[in-house]
């Protein structure tokens, strides 16, 4: 009586809050979607949602069916994937988007572990969607995203991996070098050296300077970590980096300082689509990332 297409339509209605949005998400016309809903309502002899409600509001019967959909559909997707893996030896791909430039190096051991467990899955790490990675995830261009800035949404699941600290990196003979911690005011108008990321997206700006109403100085961009650290050592400016980047100072005369008396802590999440065929493998990859990240944090502490 109740088909999977009906359940997927209910989830689309909840995620978009409208018939038009649900039709677009299900790749059908609004007329076709309305016909499908009418068909389901006839089968259960009850309305699914309250007409003309904004935002869309489900009836009691509709809410029960929605709960069923949210319980069953992930299991269906996982089972389909497992069956496909068992019957198909072709190479599959897990596209991972990384918003953090400095993550690549310490993720190498994780990639090796993953390839041992899933030899038929090609793991592709990329930062090409850096400024729009969550959108790329939602439309299927990526399968997993590592991010510190989750965006609420019904179609994407977020798995907290670990927390890390961002510290200020300066040359050892910099005027701030001997301080235990710095305040936002002490960084006012200082040149900031960073990876090629807009100033507004930098943790140093968003979570330290901007809340205090402090203006940043000139931003200097560097693509490579080695080049970035060398410019800091030359006192071209200061940078805020995760502690795992600071530990690889390449013998340069650098020191790290806390941002504020409590330090600046940031979370790292793994994001993946709940209804994706790759969700199960994405979860396994993220477990390895969390394990490696926590081990690295323990060493640094």
Burial readout 78-114 (b: 16 or more C-beta within 10 A, e: otherwise): eeebeeebeeeeeebebbbbbbbbbbeebbeebbeeb
pLDDT of residue 145: 92
Per-residue pLDDT, 87: 43
More confident residue, 158 or 294: 158
The span from the CA of 157 to the CA of 140, in Å, is 14
Distance, CA of 255 to CA of 230 (rounded, Å): 13
pLDDT level of residue 245 (50, 70, 90 thresholds): confident
pLDDT at 173: 93
Average pLDDT score over residue span 183-195: 94
Burial class (CB in 10 A: 0-12, 13-18, 19+), 182: buried
In Å, how far are 20, 54, 58 from 48, measured between CA atoms? 16, 15, 6
Report the mean per-residue pLDDT for the chain.
Answer: 86
Q: Give the pLDDT of residue 59.
A: 92
Q: What is the pLDDT of residue 82?
A: 62
The yes-or-no verdict on residue 238 having pLDDT over 70 is yes
The size of the chain, in residues, is: 301
Cα–Cα dist 222/102, whole Å: 12
E strands, the chain, in order: 49-50, 57-58, 92-98, 121-126, 144-147, 156-171, 181-182, 192-194, 219-221, 239-242, 254-259, 264-273
State how far the Cα of 102 lies from the Cα of 266, in Å rounded to an integer.
14
Question: Distance (Å, rounded) from C-alpha 207 to C-alpha 40?
Answer: 49
Range of lowest pLDDT (50-54, 102-106, 255-259, 278-282): 102-106
Query: 7-16, 217-226, 232-241, 249-258 — which is least confidently predicted?
Result: 249-258
End-to-end CA distance of the chain: 58
Cβ neighbourhood burial of 29 (10 Å; 0-12, 13-18, 19+):
exposed
- Which residue has better confidence, 124 or 38? 38
pLDDT in tens, 81-132: 666 655 444 447 888 988 777 777 778 788 888 888 888 888 888 777 666 7
Q: Give mean pLDDT, residues 26-30.
A: 89
* Average pLDDT for 153-182: 92
**pLDDT band at 78, cuts 50/70/90?**
low
Lowest model confidence (mean pLDDT) among 23-27, 37-41, 50-54, 78-82: 78-82
* Cβ-contact 93, 80 below 8 angstroms: no
In the chain, the percentage of residues whose pLDDT exceeds 70 is 90
More confident residue, 116 or 169: 169
pLDDT at 206 over 80: yes
Identify the pLDDT of residue 90: 45
């Amino acid at each position: 009586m109740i088909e999977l297409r009906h359940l997927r339509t209910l989830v689309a209605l909840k995620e978009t809050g409208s018939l038009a949005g649900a039709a677009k998400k299900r790749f059908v016309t609004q007329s076709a979607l309305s016909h499908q809903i009418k068909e389901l309502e006839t089968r259960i002899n009850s309305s699914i949602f309250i007409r003309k409600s904004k935002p869309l509001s489900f009836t009691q019967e509709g809410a029960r069916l929605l709960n069923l959909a949210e319980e069953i559909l992930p299991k269906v997707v996982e089972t389909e994937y497992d069956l496909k893996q068992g019957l198909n030896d072709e190479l599959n791909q897990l596209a991972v988007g990384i918003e953090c430039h400095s993550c690549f190096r310490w993720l190498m051991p994780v990639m090796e572990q993953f390839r041992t467990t899933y030899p038929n899955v090609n793991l592709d790490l990329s930062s090409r969607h850096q400024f729009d990675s969550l959108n790329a995830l939602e439309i299927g261009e990526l399968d997993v995203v590592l991010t510190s800035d989750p965006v609420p949404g019904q179609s994407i699941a977020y798995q907290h991996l670990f927390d890390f600290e961002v510290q200020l990196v300066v040359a050892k003979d910099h005027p701030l070098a001997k301080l235990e911690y710095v305040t936002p005011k002490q960084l006012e108008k200082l040149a900031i050296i960073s990876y090629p990321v807009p100033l507004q997206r930098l943790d140093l700006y968003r979570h330290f300077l901007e809340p205090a109403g402090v203006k940043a100085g000139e931003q200097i961009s560097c693509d490579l970590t080695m080049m970035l650290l060398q410019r800091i050592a030359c006192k071209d400016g200061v940078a805020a980096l995760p502690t795992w980047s600071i530990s690889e100072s390449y013998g340069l005369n650098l020191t790290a300082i806390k941002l504020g008396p409590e330090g600046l802590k940031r979370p790292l999440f793994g994001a993946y689509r709940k209804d994706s065929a790759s969700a199960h493998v994405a979860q396994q990859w993220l477990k390895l990332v969390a394990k490696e990240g926590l081990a690295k944090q323990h060493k640094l502490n």
